[in-house]
Amino acid sequence: MRIHLQHETTYRYEFEASYALQALRLTPLDNGNQKILDWRIGTPWGATMTYGRDAYGNVLNMLTLDRAHTELTLTLTGEVETKDANGVLSGVPEYFPPLFYLRETELTEPDEAIEALAQAAKKGSDGSPLDLGHQLMGAVRDAIDYQTGLTDVTTKAGEALAAGNGVCQDHAHVFISAARVLGVPARYVSGYLWGGEGEAYEASHAWAEAYIDGLGWVGFDVANRLCPTDAHIRVASGLDYFEAAPVRGVRRGGGNETLEVRLVVDDKVIQQ
């Protein structure tokens, strides 16, 4: 599938800001399941942007806007050719061994409820690592209803599970936390999802990857109860949201902030 994407994010400030610095993980890389045909990031007038990589190999652009401004808009356009590999990742350089991804973080620290969910999924599996991943995906999705506006980027896995609602970020964090409880390395992935022709979204997408013996890294899109397909574009990964966040930043001044996001993911050319 060839996917065309348009993503615009606007930050508006209550008062004038004099300086902004943003870390952007918005640029995907080629791998065995996707080829980047075109990818461009538009920045505000007067901004400078440097290109680099973070410790995980993700593209990390640092944007600096050193002038007075009351809003900051980022625009992104891209075209990616994808293929369905049943969620099995290939062609991605690995900078850490799988066991590194057993590390807990503040967002993925397990509690008793997560431990119980993990053990129940293990009991319901056929004993194979792959089926355990699928059982865990179903268990997390059953426990957390998809509802926007009730959690945020600081919500911890245990909090989302206790509330019983959240978004794709929360599904991924709970899956990752439970997988690590069972000794399965797992990590957070940010990216995009094509969900229908010309459909508009309010944000990008997130899912988890677990290391399955014999297969390597396998994706689990818990929010949609499936492994990533050719409708997914993989952008960045890390131990949790904070390490793969599309945009994180600081500014000087500005007061309160509002955020407006418009995202359109379209299959520009249907099935090659």
Query: Count of domains in the chain?
Result: 2
Report the CATH number at residue 221: 3.10.620.30
Q: 81-95 as b/e, with b when 16 or more CB fall inside 10 Å?
A: bbeebebbbeebeee
- Domain assignment of residue 24, given as a range: 2-82+247-267
Residue 87 placed within a domain: no
Tokens of 154: 């600081």
Does residue 239 share a domain with residue 257? no
Q: How far apart are the C-alpha atoms of 251 and 199, rounded to whole Å?
A: 32
Residues 240 and 262 occupy one common structural domain: no
Is residue 212 domain-resident?
yes
Q: Is 139 found in the same domain as 29?
A: no
| 90 falls within a domain | no
Return the pLDDT at 271.
33
Instruction: Please give the chain's pLDDT, 272 residues, in tens.
Output: 999 999 999 999 999 999 999 999 999 999 999 999 999 999 999 999 999 999 999 999 999 999 999 999 999 999 999 999 999 999 999 999 999 999 999 999 999 999 999 999 999 999 999 999 999 999 999 999 999 999 999 999 999 999 999 999 999 999 999 999 999 999 999 999 987 765 545 568 999 999 999 999 999 999 999 999 999 999 999 999 999 999 999 999 999 999 888 888 876 533 32
Rounded to the nearest angstrom, the gap between the alpha carbon of residue 15 and the centroid of all alpha carbons in its chain is 31
**In this structure, are 42 and 108 located in the same domain?**
no
Q: Are residues 212 and 165 in the same domain?
A: yes
